[in-house]
Structure 1
Amino acid sequence: MNGAQALIRTLVAAGVDVCFANPGTSEMHFVAALDDVPEMRGVLTLFEGVATGAADGYARMAGRPAATLLHLGPGLGNGLANLHNARRGGAPVVNVVGDHARSHKRLDAPLESDIDALAGAVSAWVRRSLAPADVAADAAEAVAQAARGAVATLVLPADVSWEEGAEPADPVPVRPAPRVPEQVVADVAAALSSGEPAVLLLGGDVVACEEGLLAAGRVAAGTGARLMSETFPARMVRGAGLPDVAKVPYPPEMAMASLAGTAHLVLAGATAPVHFFGYPDVPGTPVPEGCTVHVLSAPGEDGVAAAQALATLAAPDAEPRLLEAARPELPTGDLDPRALAAVVGALLPEGAIVVDEALTSGVGLAELTSGAPRHDWLSLTGGAIGDGLPMSVGAAVACPDRPVIALQADGSAMYTVQALWTQAREQLDVTTIVCDNGSYAILEHELSRVGAQGDGERAGQLLHLGGPGLDFVALATGMGVPATRATTAEELADQVRAALAEPGPHLIDAVLPGRR
């Protein structure tokens, strides 16, 4: 068989059976080989950033890698932003990037570029298959590397893909996440028993499952430590019956206030918090001066087991305080971000997957959905906006029996709006609510926060989305997604109910102050 056939068979044997693709000439033998390996599901995207963002969302929900198929260096370049988000969130992704045939590379063809260098910016592992006999073993190693919570990129020259002489390879065993030493757990338990103010900061695997959250809740109940999570955890299980975990706020002033007075900051699956940007006369981290930072578990370690061991040692008889089932009342009148959040909280179905790229329109979302039925929450981990719509594609492919609700800011929606077409083509059960305030509101806040000065008018032209305004109903329907527009809380509630009741994708343009 040829290299492409061996590659795909090896990926499937290793558990990678979905490929989000935007192929070109160099990848045509991979495309043709899909007919020979029906176990691999190919999902076409109209932009590489959709393919990489979908692979990110898939990995977060499936707990295993999807593949992407990208065309040469420019195709990989188009997907880098959402690979950055995947890397920051520890999502396992396998990129297959086609390259020129080996004999053609030396001719410096127009699409020639340094693919290896581009891939290295976002990948923990990069390899170039140099012969058909190598490609299957390289693919198996790529899956094993990605399974550790990383982006792995395999560069596949076109002739390696089409030449015969390849055979599938067996999967490479994946080592389990390393356990945290008992002494580390004991040291953290001693710090928490000091009686000094402490925060248990959760992230990674600890917030992605019920077991980790309940163990952390026991520690909090038994020691008095406060529970908090990373600002943007990759995946967080939430809802009634789980501990209430507040996120470290995004604005620096609020983040510093949330940790003020903390003497011990314990990291469980999280990294020490830092502000997204540097600001004049503001420290780079919200961790207060004099606070001791303890690492219970680092990303990549078994944080759930560490949290359970800490609970047994520091709080053996404690019971976690759990959220009771509660929903906000449905609001009435004009829409604003808090009314939108109340509608979501009131109608959120059990088992939903919420993909959150609401950004500045997310006011009240955490509060008003905390007591809703159990659900998963996916966040924008790396700050590269435009991940929300693609992530909803990947989450829906990974969990076809669960409704996906994408809370999407209007400006960042336009980075990867092509994801709507893939939702329609695959008939994915995604309800997208566009938070339509007609501006890059987050940049309006940042303009003043960094102390930048200007006359206001010309700067405002770079932050406002009017002239012409964006018509999300027309954009969605033009790509095959049924769409409606809501200007009141009642309209939004009616449209959310209707969308959730009918299979397939839907979009609701929620018109907020600023646009009206």
Structure 2
Amino acid sequence: MSVLGAQAVIGTLLGSGVEVCFANPGTSEMHLVAELTARPEMRHVLCLFEGVASGAADGYGRMAEKPASALLHLGPGLANGLANLHNARRAGTPVVTLVGDHATFLTPFDPPLHSDIETMAAPVSAWVRRATSAAGAGRDTADAITAARSGGVATLVLPADVCWSGGGSPAVAAAPAAPGFDAGAVERAAKALRDDTDCLLFVGGPNMRPAGLRAAARIAAATGARLLGEKSPARHRRDPGVPDIARLPYPIDDAMARLRGHRHIVFAGARPPTAFFAYPGKPADLVPADTETHHLGMSPDALEHLADLVAPGLSAPAAEQTAGTGLPSGELTVAKAAAVVAHLLPEDAIVVDEAMTSSSALVAATAGGARHDWLCLTGGAIGMGMPVATGAAIACPDRTVLTLEADGSAMYTLQALWTQAREGLHAVTVVFNNSSYAILAGELDRVVPDAGRRRAGSFVDISGLDFVALAAGMGVPATRAHTAGDLYAQLSRALAEPGPHLIEAVVPPVTRL
């Protein structure tokens, strides 16, 4: 039986297991909205900004390991969502982006919101297509889902008349091909690890889960190779029974020092690292020129195979137990806040990290603590924290989501708090308020030392933000912590109570990045 194009699209999503849509729609998407709201099996989540919708789809996909959809309004709506789609692309997150467009007979008149949607979508998408008929809309949607399941953003442009026309029918998405690996490349890496003690095993992607980390630990124990994780894994599953792994630091000199001195680097589930930014006199490629590299690809099976070759029958060594520290007191600092978070972190929590200059202390303090997932800012486009937390909370409603957020980046997508309140999500946000764009101050020190920072001090000053009032305006209960005791009491209460909460943690400015 034929249906409207919009019905074919939503029917295909549901029939292929895409059951959540994060939406900020407009007039061109009203037939899709009508179908979304008519289907109780499709959870439709309203977002007040497109960057929240795209970021929430990213967070959902990272945790559910299947696509959500994001419904955006024309080219300008897509433009507002591009930053978090960029992060989703770098994370390899499955996302189906539906972008409404003007009816095909209207576009020749160049209406005010007309734009080249495909060109805008291409840099953040692994797959882009424009639907041209209601009859093909179901098949187009199914192909988008298949592409997203392969690990990426799939963007489908849906003209309004395609959605309101009849003749459509739902389709079923095909399963993507399982990723393979090059056995020869694994064997060459095994030979290097056996023959040379100056080796580094650099892991990332799917290998930042217990199975991959155990395989990496087996390899290190058998060969003496050093271990290092990518700087910003999409999802790092940290388990007290699995050895933790240090991650590549952000500052370029520190990163270069970590990679220096190895004759071989084996990349497993990670790309070779490049400089985050260009600096005068610094290289773009962080891998030393005299280092031989081995690339195992993104399949976790490759690392398992490598472990079986170099460490047959060897179990991963037991994780080192870190001694718990006492609870701090006195005026709050980032280090004290990190100790409080580590002490209170619930079992099986989901931590979303956009703490920026406060991040390294938080990562270090929580090593060896309660089992949790740590989600990172993969693409460097800030504003992912609270949106990703929103999607993660919907994907995993039985788990606590804790967002560690910087004050500057919090202002990019603060509207996510409204969605968290509307949906009743158990998402707790701690905003580290140091009243500055501290990361910019650090970059000024690198590029224009000392004098540059003094001259531009007022430029990076963002004091005056009242996150308690801002959260309250979004319907989220909020408190402010000035001492370690304040934070302990407030975070304990927020974690125990249902629904969203925000804590503004007032900390001193960072003096060195």
TM tier, smaller: over 0.9
Q: Tell me if structure 2 keeps the 8 A contact 1:196–1:264.
A: no
Q: Which amino acid in structure 2 is aligned with residue 390 of structure 1?
A: P
Partner of residue 193, structure 1: 194
Give the CA RMSD over aligned residues.
Answer: 1.4
Q: Tell me if structure 2 keeps the 8 A contact 1:202–1:228.
A: yes
| Partner of residue 75 from structure 1, selected from 64, 74, 77 | 77
Partner of residue 231, structure 1: 231
| Partner of residue 405 from structure 1, selected from 387, 402, 415 | 402
Partner of residue 462, structure 1: 459
Q: Are 1:345 and 2:342 counterparts?
A: yes
Q: Tell me if structure 1 keeps the 8 A contact 2:67–2:149.
A: yes
Q: TM-score, normalised by structure 1?
A: 0.96
Q: Tell me if structure 1 keeps the 8 A contact 2:129–2:155.
A: yes
Q: Tell me if structure 2 keeps the 8 A contact 1:47–1:416.
A: yes
Q: Tell me if structure 1 keeps the 8 A contact 2:201–2:227.
A: yes
**Higher mean C-alpha displacement, 409-418 vs 357-366:** 357-366
Q: Tell me if structure 2 keeps the 8 A contact 1:328–1:345.
A: no
Task: List gaps (5 residues or longer) in structure 1.
Answer: none
| Partner of residue 374 from structure 1, selected from 368, 371, 376 | 371
Listed as ranges, the matches of 1:220-299 within 5 Å are 220-296=220-296, 298-299=297-298
Q: Tell me if structure 1 keeps the 8 A contact 2:444–2:452.
A: no
CA-to-aligned-CA distance 1:350-369 (integer Å, 9 cap, x gap): 10000000010123222211
3-state SS of paired residue (1:362): helix
Q: Tell me if structure 2 keeps the 8 A contact 1:222–1:317.
A: no
In the TM superposition, residue 454 of structure 1 has moved relative to its aligned partner by: 5.8
CA-to-aligned-CA distance 1:358-388 (integer Å, 9 cap, x gap): 0101232222111111110000000000101
Partner of residue 66, structure 2: 64
CA-to-aligned-CA distance 1:198-244 (integer Å, 9 cap, x gap): 1111111111x211111111111111111111000111111311112
Q: Are 1:443 and 2:440 counterparts?
A: yes
3-state SS of paired residue (2:273): coil
Partner of residue 306, structure 2: 310
In the TM superposition, residue 36 of structure 1 has moved relative to its aligned partner by: 3.1
In the TM superposition, residue 453 of structure 1 has moved relative to its aligned partner by: 8.0
Hey, what's the Cα distance between the residues in 1 that align with 2:61 and 2:244? 25
Hey, what's the Cα distance between the residues in 2 that align with 1:131 and 1:152? 19
Q: Which amino acid in structure 1 is aligned with residue 191 of structure 2?
A: A
3-state SS of paired residue (1:364): helix
Q: Tell me if structure 2 keeps the 8 A contact 1:337–1:363.
A: no
Hey, what's the Cα distance between the residues in 2 that align with 1:200 and 1:455? 38
Partner of residue 169, structure 2: 167
In the TM superposition, residue 274 of structure 1 has moved relative to its aligned partner by: 1.2
3-state SS of paired residue (1:186): helix
In the TM superposition, residue 458 of structure 1 has moved relative to its aligned partner by: 5.5
Q: Tell me if structure 2 keeps the 8 A contact 1:88–1:381.
A: yes
Q: Are 1:474 and 2:469 counterparts?
A: yes
Partner of residue 501, structure 1: 496
Hey, what's the Cα distance between the residues in 1 that align with 2:325 and 2:269? 31
Partner of residue 332, structure 1: 329
Hey, what's the Cα distance between the residues in 2 that align with 1:293 and 1:434? 40
Q: Which amino acid in structure 1 is aligned with residue 271 of structure 2?
A: T
Q: Tell me if structure 1 keeps the 8 A contact 2:353–2:405.
A: yes
In the TM superposition, residue 181 of structure 1 has moved relative to its aligned partner by: 2.6
Hey, what's the Cα distance between the residues in 2 that align with 1:408 and 1:4? 38
Task: List gaps (5 residues or longer) in structure 2.
Answer: none
Q: Which amino acid in structure 2 is aligned with residue 312 of structure 1?
A: D
**Higher mean C-alpha displacement, 101-110 vs 275-284:** 275-284
In the TM superposition, residue 101 of structure 1 has moved relative to its aligned partner by: 0.5
Q: Which amino acid in structure 2 is aligned with residue 487 of structure 1?
A: H
Hey, what's the Cα distance between the residues in 1 that align with 2:200 and 2:245? 11
In the TM superposition, residue 318 of structure 1 has moved relative to its aligned partner by: 2.6
Q: Which amino acid in structure 2 is aligned with residue 187 of structure 1?
A: R
**Higher mean C-alpha displacement, 65-74 vs 189-198:** 189-198
Q: Tell me if structure 2 keeps the 8 A contact 1:439–1:514.
A: yes
3-state SS of paired residue (1:30): helix
Q: Which amino acid in structure 2 is aligned with residue 341 of structure 1?
A: A
In the TM superposition, residue 319 of structure 1 has moved relative to its aligned partner by: 2.6
Q: TM-score, normalised by structure 2?
A: 0.96
3-state SS of paired residue (1:340): helix
Q: Which amino acid in structure 2 is aligned with residue 20 of structure 1?
A: F
Q: Which amino acid in structure 2 is aligned with residue 292 of structure 1?
A: E
3-state SS of paired residue (2:106): helix
Hey, what's the Cα distance between the residues in 1 that align with 2:452 and 2:371? 48
Identity %, equivalent residues: 56
Hey, what's the Cα distance between the residues in 1 that align with 2:288 and 2:173? 47
Q: Tell me if structure 1 keeps the 8 A contact 2:445–2:452.
A: no
Q: Which amino acid in structure 1 is aligned with residue 183 of structure 2?
A: E
Partner of residue 514, structure 1: 509
Q: Which amino acid in structure 2 is aligned with residue 320 of structure 1?
A: A
Q: Tell me if structure 2 keeps the 8 A contact 1:482–1:506.
A: yes
3-state SS of paired residue (1:200): strand
Partner of residue 418, structure 2: 421
Hey, what's the Cα distance between the residues in 2 that align with 1:137 and 1:41? 22
Partner of residue 386, structure 2: 389
In the TM superposition, residue 459 of structure 1 has moved relative to its aligned partner by: 2.2
Q: Tell me if structure 1 keeps the 8 A contact 2:445–2:453.
A: no
Hey, what's the Cα distance between the residues in 1 that align with 2:105 and 2:71? 22
Hey, what's the Cα distance between the residues in 1 that align with 2:449 and 2:113? 40
In the TM superposition, residue 451 of structure 1 has moved relative to its aligned partner by: 2.7
Partner of residue 207, structure 2: 206
3-state SS of paired residue (1:275): coil
Q: Tell me if structure 2 keeps the 8 A contact 1:325–1:372.
A: no
Hey, what's the Cα distance between the residues in 2 that align with 1:56 and 1:174? 19
In the TM superposition, residue 349 of structure 1 has moved relative to its aligned partner by: 0.9
